[in-house]
Amino acid sequence: MKKRLKGAAVAVCALIICILTVCGYAAGDVARVRKLPAELTATSFRAVDIGAAKGYLRNGKLIFKLFGIFPVKTIEIRESGEEVYIGGTPIGLSMEVMGVIVEDIGTVSTGAGEVAARTTLKKGDIITSAGGAEVKCVDDLAAVVDALDGAEDITMNVLRSGKETQAQATPVHEALSGRLRLGLWLKDRVNGIGTLSFVRKDYRFGSLGHAITSGETVVPVRGGEAKNCKLIGYTRGKRGAPGEIKGLIRGEKIGTVDANNVYGVFGSMTVPYFGKSYPVGSRLDVTSGKAEIYTTIGDTTDFYDIEIIRAMPQNKRSDKSMVLRVTDRRLLDTTGGIIQGMSGSPIIQNGRIVGAVTHVFVNDPTKGYGIYLDWMY
């Protein structure tokens, strides 16, 4: 009996050692799986195993199970076989602000002379409410001021440096009109020129690859228009002084704008758009090495050689995903490299659109950043 118990104890110990060994082996595989992002763009659909973690494709999801039994992680899979029209052409953007932007702090002409605006507002602030009333445009703020009985303090909710805060303003009587004035230069519309990145087959478009901002604050928009844009020249970039594309926004509306965020300006084309069609590439497809950007200089839209110096591993969205270097002599000889206004120029690598140009290095215009298309698409 004792021998049987002893044999059973040895067998149990051996089993425990075996389980611990297997679990120890599997722990590294589980850790690797859990580091994977919650979403991926796949160039092909097939099961993927990571050691002891077995991957199974089910209804657009990749499900990893330890030893094929215990769930470890589920990843949303997006097929990259879809093609889009690449942009590379200039686009004019005119957007209505969800609020009022303080362009500058001025003065009011009173009977006692010029009086500085009495306010804690700062240049670049975006006013979203005043005196408890929502402010969507300049007329809304004017209505709040006109409704006052006298020179009363107005408490305002504002966006400043990306954060919500409060500010005060006290209007004074203007001598000429006799009306209360704040002494502020304000606007409720922003306009800009950038580069179209892509247009999907359903005519949804993405552009710029970064936000239009007021100071450090992303401008909230309630709508807007995309318009034709005519380039009229550029200033060459040099160390310490980024160059800039110059253009004119024409009156012809080509689309609507419904979003402005850290990853670009987005909307829908209202006129047919047809360009060069390329398959969508995932950030997992991007490697260091040769690539191209498609952009417009003067009247010519063309491909220009670049090098992707670094493709950063990212599980979260960022407008700085890749470090780029312009290697094409034509672009270096004309613009000096990347210049402002090229933001949004599509990046092509290995026959796929994988991202867009977003920023230029101030101290080296031959280099800049790009964003993965995953974060814009």
Cβ atoms of 159 and 48 closer than 8 Å: no
Q: What is the pLDDT of residue 8?
A: 53
Cβ atoms of 108 and 143 closer than 8 Å: no
Q: What is the pLDDT of residue 235?
A: 94
Question: What global pTM score does this model have?
Answer: 0.78
Q: What is the pLDDT of residue 75?
A: 66
List, in order, residues 6 or more apart from 308 with CB less than 8 Å away: 286, 287, 288, 289, 290, 291, 322, 323, 324, 347, 349, 370
User: For residue 127, what are the β-bridge partners?
Assistant: 100, 158
Read off φ and ψ for residue 35, nearest 5 degrees: -80, -10
Domain with CATH 2.30.42.10 in the chain: 107-182
The DSSP annotation for 139-156 comes to HHHHHHHHT-SSS--EEE
3-state secondary structure at position 102: strand
Q: 135: which DSSP letter?
A: -
| CATH code for the part of the protein at 277-375 | 2.40.10.10
Cβ atoms of 214 and 165 closer than 8 Å: no
How many whole angstroms from its chain centre is CA 345?
A: 14
With vertex at residue 363, the alpha carbon angle to CA 284 and CA 193, rounded to the nearest 5 degrees, is 70
> Could you say which architecture CATH assigns to the domain 107-182?
Roll (2.30)
Strands 244-261 and 221-235: antiparallel
The end-to-end CA distance of the chain, in Å, is 70
Q: What is the pLDDT of residue 57?
A: 55
Successive 10-residue mean pLDDT values, the chain, 377 residues: 52 44 51 58 52 55 68 65 92 96 95 93 96 95 91 92 94 92 95 95 95 91 94 92 91 93 96 92 91 94 97 88 97 96 97 96 96 93
Q: What is the pLDDT of residue 150?
A: 75
The DSSP annotation for 195-218 comes to EEEEE-TTSEEEESSS--EETTEE
Domain with CATH 2.40.10.10 in the chain: 277-375
3-state secondary structure at position 2: helix
